[in-house]
Each structure stands twice: as structure tokens, then as C-alpha cells.
Amino acid sequence: MVAGGAAIPSGVCDGSGEAGVCDDRPEIEDPRDFGMCEQASSELSLHQKKIFKVDDHIGVAIAGLTADGRVLSRYMRNECINHSYTYESSLPVGRLVVQLADKSQVCTQRSWKRPYGVGLLVGGLDESGPHLYYNCPSGNYFEYQAFAIGSRSQAAKTYLERKFEGFMDAQEDLIKDALFALRETLQGEKLTSSICTMAVVGVGEPFHILDEEAVQALIDEFQIEEPPTDEATASDESSGAESGPADQGTAADQGATPMDI
């Protein structure tokens, strides 16, 4: 996911990157989507699930200890169920985020507890519009238009900072920006549906995770290619540096005059 404005503890970055983008303009019907790159801990293991449905209008993506993320997502799900049963209405996203932050902050002041080692991107839609929050293990929370957390998330944040003012109205364009942001987190690896998970929530569209075939179709449609590696960039620079002096020498020979004897 994409996150910024706060330091992420070392226990949060775990080898996967998540990105979330939204647009709070009222004319946008499908204002939010999540994207995540899932990388297995070893070549013999499968990746773990990092995007969870909390309610029809709220979803969460995690980066860090998956066990802590499941505990917190279950707590959020219970809070939504209790609120819906008591008030017969959906729990506002901001109120749920505050309750989650209070729960996380308590662990930082008890000697017999440890902080939750997970960062969460909470995205949802309520009566006040779309929201995207980042919850820290310290109990701090921040609201963003686009954010990324996890391993190598700085590259994704740089892309989103450069592009977020030009977010388009269509859902496909938001998904495209999320996929390109995820591609920036990969180091010489091609973005495929086997390591990428996408989830969408919007007006009239409950939170749901796209299947692998749909994600691969979007990747092929947007023609998301492998980003240039550092070695290729360095080789291009070195070849340019070598050709530079040679070209200068040729130009000097052409402008030289015969030496008087």
C-alpha cells in the first residue's frame, strides 16, 4: 500500500508493497481501489493474504506481521457488525479508524503488551465520501488521497506524488495508477497477476477483490512492462560517456587546419 508522512517501524516492512488510491471528487462513481504486490517468503512457499474485507463499504490492506493484521481486521469486522446491529446503519470509516488507533495505542503503554507489528491502509466509502487512512502501530493515523506502505514503498509514493493531481474520473484509470505504482516497487521483476492483488469499492459497488484473470487482463490492457533496471541505466550512461569524447575528437579533427611547416 501507499503511505507517507510517518516513519514506518522496521517490523512493518516485510517484502510486499501495497498501494491505495482514491478520488474524493463528488462526480466520481468508483472512487477507491487497493493494489498489492505479494511476495512469498521463500521459493517453496506461497504468498499470504494481505487484503481483507471488513464490511461492504470498508476494506483493509496490511504490511507487516500477517497474524497481527488478521487480529486487527477481525476486530474491525466485529465493530462494524455491532454498529450495524445497534444503529441499523454502516459504521463511518473515520470512527472505525479512531477506534483502531486507540486499540493500537494502548499496547504502547502497557509493560506486559507489545505493539502490533503491522501497518494498515484502511479504505472505504460512507456518507461523507471516500476515505483512505494509514494506521501506524504507534496509534497515529493519517488520511491520504493516495499512499503506499511496505517494502520499497518509497518508489510507489514518489510515483503517486507525481500523478495524484491528474487522477482521472474512470475506475480503470485509478486502477491503472495503482498498478503502475506497484510496478515501481519491483526490482527487475515483471508485474503479473500471480504476485498482484487488486480490490475495489465504490458507489453502488461493495468491496470486492478482483480475481486473477481480471487483474492479468488489466495488466495486459495497460501494457505495464518491466521497469528499466539500474544495470541497464548504468550501461546506457557509460556508453554515452564513452561516445561523448570520441564525438568531440571527431569534431575537433574536422575543424582543424593543416599545421604550417
User: pLDDT digit string (tens) for 71-81?
Assistant: 999 999 999 99
CA–CA gap between residue 170 and residue 168 (Å, rounded): 6
Side chain identity, residue 18? E
What was the pLDDT predicted at 152? 84
pLDDT score recorded for residue 118: 95
Q: How far apart are the first and last CA of the chain?
A: 74
- Whether 240 contacts 70, CB under 8 Å: no
Tell me what pLDDT residue 13 has: 36
Is the pLDDT at 63 greater than 50? The verdict is yes
Q: What is the pLDDT of residue 5?
A: 28
How large is the average pLDDT for residues 122-139? 94
**Residue 218 scores a pLDDT above 80:** yes
The CATH superfamily of 17-227 is Aminohydrolase, N-terminal nucleophile (Ntn) domain (3.60.20.10)
Q: What are the grid coordinates assigned to 232, written together?
A: 541497464
Whether 190 and 157 have beta carbons less than 8 Å apart is answered as no
Q: Parse the chain into domains and list their residue ranges.
A: 17-227
Segment 117-125 mean pLDDT: 94
Residue 50 has pLDDT above 80, yes or no: yes
Task: Provide the pLDDT confidence category of residue 113 given band limits of 50, 70 and 90.
Answer: very high
Checking if the pLDDT of 168 tops 90, the result is no
Residue % of the chain over a pLDDT of 90? 43
Q: Is the pLDDT of residue 131 over 60?
A: yes
Q: Residues 131, 109: contact at Cβ < 8 Å?
A: no
In the DSSP assignment, the letter for residue 5 is S
* Whether the predicted pLDDT of 237 surpasses 70: no
- For position 11, what pLDDT does the model report? 30
